[in-house]
Amino acid sequence: MTLLSVNLNKIAVLRNSRGGAEPDICQAARTCIEAGCGGITVHPRPDLRHVRPHDVRALAALLRGRVEYNIEGNPFAEPRGDYPGLLALAREVRPAQVTLVPDGDGQLTSDHGFDLNRDIERLRPLVAQFRELGCRVSLFVDASNAAQAFDQAAAIGAQRIEIYTGPYAEAFAADAPDAALEACVATARYAQQAGLAVNAGHDLSQANLGRFKVAIPGLAEVSIGHALIGEALYDGLATTVRNYLQILR
């Protein structure tokens, strides 16, 4: 079954808006795990707008030996203040997976993937360093009907891609998902032909996930946070996680 990794960034956003320790990100993780999720995702950023390095460390201690830990981030972002950099965090906590994302401070959220033809040589030494730590490396990429540099990505040691599904979610909401979904399908097919496994994430929801899952055979993992946490406000976190797992089945 496709693994569900719950992104807990929005729990940290709510906590940070008030200060203090509530809601407790570790308690949220426990609830998701008890409901059956297979992984927890966080995306710490240098500006500390949501998940912070102390959260990354606390979750590592909680998750070890229980579910997969996926840390997302920009590997090129320089350390600043309390943020030591993505590689340094990975060196400390040894997550099962790192997802490399080309986001900058000016982005409200991740809104594009790597241009592998342009970025592959910059990524090469970093991918090698994450692999040396025992981390599986996934690269965040845009969906496209055109062939991308997936053979080169595999050659430098990447093991997965994560398809940026924001455009698909927007098209689904506009009741015109076919073209965007086909771009995701083509991207998955090209990646799998290169020997890469396929993850997906961004604005996936209970409404649009089922069609996406059916369209992409062998989908390894989905990382879902914003919609899941929003839906949990109405139905509860554990119930919402179980609803997503039922869709993935």
Active site residues: 43, 72, 202
**224 has which bridge partners?**
6
Q: Which of 74, 18, 83 is nearest to 55 (CA)?
A: 83
Name, in order, each residue with C-beta under 8 angstroms of 167's C-beta and a sequence gap of 6 or more.
143, 180, 183
Q: Which of 232, 119, 116, 229 is nearest to 163 (CA)?
A: 116
What ranges make up the beta strands (E) of the chain? 3-7, 39-42, 68-73, 97-100, 136-142, 160-164, 197-201, 221-224
Number of CB atoms found within 10 A of residue 204's CB: 25
Q: Which of 1, 3, 7 is nearest to 227 (CA)?
A: 7
